């Protein structure tokens, strides 16, 4: 990799599940140490995730990444600056939410909705409970989601949850129902995310780069999922971990030999950041 100033890595943005954390949802000592070494060189790491802020996983992981800093959450729909101030928020249109509600009821799939640091659903079940493993806010049974909207609530994203087999079958139907009023992506098997049109980690990271006065060519981004594609394409150096799916690998400049269970993020930092020193 060329080490001149134009291509020098100045910021690392990483996905969380399947990338930064191992398959047990752990931040390993090797990854933590590499992140701190990069920070000592003036190259901080920020998270860019589909997850919600202010819950179990953030309390466990973020303090170990260094001093409080900026971050991108909910697939780019919430962006915080270095002072932990919310600088960007984007909500789903009510018509999109209502279409998703009707679709879930018609096809018998679970629908969960994210509202900043809350996750709500009509009634919790085995699918919504899957989110607990990932340290997300505990899903709340609140009855009809339209009532949440009527009370002034808003959602930044929704997830249709079912088996992976059924999800593959209904995805074209969801796309036909929503058309260009929403963007669809997946981060985990059996979960189809409904986002505002054009929303992505790439768009959220772009806003953060502008806030930090960092050019995209000076960004190293890491990911494993379909929801990481736009961020990997944006970065001067996009890296997919070995356990990444085909869309992420196709979008990346580099595909690592190591998985998230083999300290892939540490390996990338050692090879492309610490070597700059």
Query: In this predicted model, what pLDDT tens digit does every residue of 127-175 receive, in sequence order?
Result: 999 999 999 999 999 999 999 999 999 999 999 999 999 999 999 999 9
pLDDT at residue number 1: 42
- Quick one: what percent of the chain has pLDDT higher than 90? 94
Look up residue 87 and give its two tokens.
């600088």
Got the DSSP string for 189-249? TTEEEEESTT--HHHHHHHHHHHHT--GGGEEEEE-SGGGHHHHHHSSEEEE-TT--HHHH
Establish how many alpha carbons lie within 13 A of residue 9's alpha carbon, considering only the half-sphere containing its beta carbon: 27
pLDDT at residue number 55: 86
Q: Single out the residue in 179, 195, 211 at which a domain terminates.
A: 195
Please state the separation of Cα 114 from the chain's center in Å: 13
Q: Tell me the pLDDT tens digit for each residue of 22-47.
A: 999 999 999 999 999 999 999 999 99
Q: Tell me the pLDDT tens digit for each residue of 98-108.
A: 999 999 999 99
* Within-domain flag for 73: yes
Question: Same structural domain for residues 164 and 136?
Answer: yes
Calpha distance 152→39 (Å, rounded): 41
* Within-domain flag for 2: no
Give the containing element (helix H, strand E) for 15: none
Question: Same structural domain for residues 81 and 207?
Answer: yes
Q: Single out the residue in 149, 175, 195 at which a domain terminates.
A: 195
Question: Same structural domain for residues 167 and 132?
Answer: yes
The enclosing domain of 245 has a CATH number of: 3.40.50.1000
Residue 222: φ, ψ to 5° = -130, 140
Contact 184, 203 (CB under 8 A): no
Q: For the chain, what is the domain count?
A: 2
pLDDT for residue 2 is more than 80: no
Give the containing element (helix H, strand E) for 59: helix 56-61
Question: Same structural domain for residues 79 and 108?
Answer: no
Partnered with residue 183 across adjacent β-strands are 195
Q: Tell me the pLDDT tens digit for each residue of 191-249.
A: 999 999 999 999 999 999 999 999 999 999 999 999 999 999 999 999 999 999 999 99
The predicted model gives 104-115 an average pLDDT of 97
The pTM of this model reads 0.94
> What is the dihedral sign for C-alpha 212, 214, 216, 221?
negative
Domain ranges, residue 25 = 11-89+200-276
Q: How far is CA 77 from each of CA 134, 203, 213, rounded to the nearest angstrom?
A: 19, 9, 20
* Within-domain flag for 3: no
**Neighbouring C-beta atoms of residue 95, cutoff 10 Å:** 11
The predicted model gives 170-195 an average pLDDT of 97
Average pLDDT, the chain: 96
Look up residue 122 and give its two tokens.
């009509």
pLDDT at residue number 6: 64
Q: Single out the residue in 141, 163, 195 at which a domain terminates.
A: 195
């Amino acid at each position: 990799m060329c080490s001149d100033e134009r291509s020098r890595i100045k910021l690392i943005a990483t996905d969380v599940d399947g990338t930064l954390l191992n398959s047990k949802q752990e931040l390993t000592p090797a990854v933590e140490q590499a992140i701190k070494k990069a920070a000592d060189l003036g190259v901080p790491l920020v998270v860019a995730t589909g997850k919600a802020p202010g819950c179990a996983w953030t309390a466990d992981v973020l303090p170990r990444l260094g001093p409080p800093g900026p971050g991108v959450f909910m697939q780019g729909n919430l962006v915080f600056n270095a002072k932990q101030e919310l600088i960007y928020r984007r909500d789903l249109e009510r018509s999109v939410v209502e279409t998703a509600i009707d679709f879930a009821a018609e096809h018998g799939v679970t629908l969960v909705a994210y509202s900043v640091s809350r996750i709500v659903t009509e009634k919790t079940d085995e699918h919504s409970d899957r989110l607990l493993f990932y340290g997300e806010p505990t899903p709340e049974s609140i009855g009809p989601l339209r009532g949440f909207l009527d009370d002034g609530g808003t959602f930044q994203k929704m997830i249709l949850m079912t088996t992976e087999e059924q999800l593959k079958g209904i995805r074209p139907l969801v796309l036909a129902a929503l058309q260009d009023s929403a963007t669809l992506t997946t981060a985990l098997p059996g979960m189809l995310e409904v986002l505002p049109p054009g929303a992505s980690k790439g768009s959220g990271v772009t806003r953060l780069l502008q806030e930090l006065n960092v050019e995209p060519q000076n960004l190293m981004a890491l990911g494993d999922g379909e929801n990481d594609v736009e961020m990997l394409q944006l970065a001067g150096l996009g890296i997919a971990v070995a356990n990444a799916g085909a869309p992420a690998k196709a979008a990346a400049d580099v595909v690592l030999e190591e998985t998230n269970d083999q300290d892939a993020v540490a390996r990338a930092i050692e090879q492309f950041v610490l070597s700059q020193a």
